[in-house]
Amino acid sequence: MNLADVFTVVLSIAGVLAVFVGVWLLTAGLFPAQTERCAGHIGATPLKCYAIGFAALVPVLIAGTLLGRFASNAPLKVVSVLIFVFALLCALAGTAGLALRIGRGLASAQDAQDPWRRVLRGGIVLAITYGTIVLIPLTLVPGFGAFLLSCQRRSIPAAAAAPESF
């Protein structure tokens, strides 16, 4: 493996992680109430979010895999890819709540002027931890569950309604 191969791998990973942070900021900017609800659900009931995310995500991924494998024409294969992309975007939208929650713990004086910086700080920390590949599914699955819960209910759980102070 030469230096060009190393740079290809490292910069590809860095690019994917930068896209993740961008999607988290996009979600927080376009859907701030949804992101707040996701942060509330992940903070109040992380195991419930994981269980719901796992129970909902596994059938979606199995359906996408089976559709892609047994599809005889290109449009059905495209639908299979769209199923995976949609599931990933929903999981990333829910994980934006986790990034917001982490960012709240890293408070700054500029948070009152620029509330999006919480998601940026939390997203950068979360993206850095994605270097240990194990944490990617351990955060995306509960993110998917938090997204589903936040779509179902319009209120934040009582235990996570107020941000914690240190």
Domain membership of residue 2 (yes or no) is no
Quickly list DSSP for the chain: --HHHHHHHHHHHHHHHHHHHHHHHHHHHH-HHHHHHHHHHHHH-HHHHHHHHHHHHHHHHHHHHHHHHH--SHHHHHHHHHHHHHHHHHHHHHHHHHHHHHHHHT--GGGTT-THHHHHHHHHHHHHHTTSTTHHHHHHHHHHHHHHHHHH-SS--GGGSSPP--
Residue 153 tokens, joined: 């209910």
Domain membership of residue 102 (yes or no) is yes
Domain housing 107: 13-156
Residue 37 tokens, joined: 């609800």
- Between CA 120 and CA 116 the distance in angstroms is 6
Domain membership of residue 4 (yes or no) is no
- Between CA 39 and CA 99 the distance in angstroms is 8
Domain membership of residue 81 (yes or no) is yes
Domain membership of residue 6 (yes or no) is no
Domain membership of residue 28 (yes or no) is yes
Mean pLDDT calculated for residue range 40-50: 94
- Between CA 36 and CA 38 the distance in angstroms is 5
What count of Cα atoms within 13 Å lies in the side-chain half-sphere of residue 69?
6
pLDDT of amino acid 58: 95
Q: pLDDT tens digits for 4-40?
A: 999 999 999 999 999 999 999 999 999 999 999 999 9
Domain count, the chain: 1
Domain membership of residue 3 (yes or no) is no
Domain membership of residue 8 (yes or no) is no
pLDDT of amino acid 71: 87
Q: pLDDT tens digits for 57-113?
A: 999 999 999 999 998 899 999 999 999 999 999 999 999 999 999 999 988 888 888
